[in-house]
Amino acid sequence: MELFHSVMNDTHHLPSLSALRAFVTVVQSGSFTEAARRLFLTQGAISKQIRLLEEHYGTPLLQRHSRQIQPTPSGRTLLPVAQDVVERLKEVERRLKTQTDILSLQVYVTFAVRWLMPRLGSFYQQYPLTQLRMDSMVYEPSELDPSIDQAYILFGRGHWPNMQAELLLAEKLSPVCAPGMLAQLTCLEDLAGQTLFHTTRDYEEWMAWLASQQISSLAQYKHQVVDLHHLAWAAAASGLGVAIGDMELLKDELQQGRLVRPFDTVLETGCGYYLAYPDSYADHPGLQALLSWMRQQAASSTAT
């Protein structure tokens, strides 16, 4: 019972957290008006919190100087402690909110199947409280709305209006085929007459790779368009033709010998897979956890 009263007496003499937060925000913003806007309070409420804090310590903590609010010597003594308390509590809140705040992620089917899903177990081991809701997509949305709390894994060059984007994997293209077709593909000329698998009707990936080999015409090849990369790769593994793909996403097939590279040339296109999100979503604790984990995974993956 004595211990209880001792704890109660100690905590009774601590200042209000709301007052400390108001004090820190006023000093950071230099203005009662701006502090009120940031904390979604009235200016009067901010003034009351500062007054309560000054009464608690029995000394002025703020003074007006050249149209700006600045801390007094006593305020400067209090400031680093108050900042530390506020930041520590914010961090605890961010961590605890991952139990209820679900992170929404939209991701390309091929990237999800080939890269993300096989690794996701380690993410949940590292961040067991983060809840992740994944929606797959075949094509990028025609318009990304920055007002929606939504993260994406997008393919491109990293430029989407009003979105932050961090590169995860740079694209490195090379043709792939079934091991049984290697004997038929001893040089570039052997591609003539073969079926080339495409995932776009403009044949963009094959055009770029062949252009790097000084080949500008596709007239000598047969063409088959499918809507997903892993369908093209599955067809190539079955010996139906030659596909082209990203070496990172095809790492398992290449290591296990289900697919092989008939040619040594790898084209770095300047494109890649990015984790993209609006500024308003940047502080979501689950997003920061996912981004940190993806950096680790991407670095580990490209290093092997």
Per the structure block, which two tokens stand in for 7? 């704890």
Stretch 286-304: mean pLDDT: 85
List phi, psi (to 5°) of 248: -70, -45
Query: What CATH architecture does domain 17-97 belong to?
Result: Orthogonal Bundle (1.10)
Q: Express each pLDDT in 126-152 by its tens digit.
A: 988 888 899 988 888 878 888 888 999
Q: Can you name the residues that pair with 196 across neighbouring β-strands?
A: 223, 242
**Residue written as token pair 């993300």:** 116
Select 172-270's CATH number: 3.40.640.10, 1.20.1050.90, 3.40.190.10, 3.40.50.300.
Answer: 3.40.190.10
For residues 135 and 112, give the distance between their C-alpha atoms in angstroms, rounded to a whole number: 10
Domain ranges within the chain, ordered by starting residue: 17-97, 102-163+272-302, 172-270
pLDDT of residue 1: 41
Mean pLDDT, rounded, of the chain: 87
Q: Comparing C-alpha atoms, which of 288, 250, 271 is closest to residue 94?
A: 288
- The DSSP secondary structure of the chain, one letter per residue, reads -HHHHHHHHHHHTSPPHHHHHHHHHHHHHT-HHHHHHHHT--HHHHHHHHHHHHHHHTS--EEEETTEEEE-HHHHHHHHHHHHHHHHHHHHHHHHHTTT-EEEEEEEHHHIIIIIHHHHHHHHHH-TT-EEEEEEESS--SS--TTS--EEEEEESS--TTEEEEEEEEEEEEEEB-GGGGGG-SSGGGGTTSEEEESSTT-HHHHHHHHTTT----TTSEEEE-S-HHHHHHHHHTTS-BEEEETTTTHHHHHHTSSB-SS---EEEEEEEEEEEEGGGTT-HHHHHHHHHHHHHHHHHHH-
Stretch 191-212: mean pLDDT: 92
pLDDT of residue 89: 82
Q: Express each pLDDT in 224-281 by its tens digit.
A: 999 889 899 999 999 999 999 999 999 999 999 999 999 999 999 999 999 999 988 8
The verdict on domain 102-163+272-302 having CATH code 3.40.190.10 is yes
- Which one-letter amino acid corresponds to residue 282? A
The pLDDT > 90 percentage for the chain reads 55
- The CA angle 252-256-260, to the nearest 5 degrees, is 90
CB-CB contact of 206 with 265 (8 Å): no
Q: What is the pTM of this model?
A: 0.66
Whether residue 213 is predicted with pLDDT greater than 90 in this model: the reply is yes
Whether residue 8 is predicted with pLDDT greater than 50 in this model: the reply is no
C-alpha distance from residue 40 to each of 37, 44, 143, 278 (Å): 5, 12, 31, 22
**Domains 102-163+272-302 and 172-270 in one fold:** yes
CB-CB contact of 267 with 208 (8 Å): yes
Q: Is 80 exposed, middle or buried (0-12, 13-18, 19+ CB in 10 A)?
A: exposed
CB-CB contact of 103 with 133 (8 Å): yes
pLDDT of residue 40: 85
In the sheet where 151-156 sits, what is the strand order?
Answer: 131-137, 102-108, 151-156, 267-278, 163-176, 243-246
Residues in the chain: 304
For residues 190 and 131, give the distance between their C-alpha atoms in angstroms, rounded to a whole number: 50
Taken in order 122, 125, 127, 130, the sign of the CA dihedral is positive
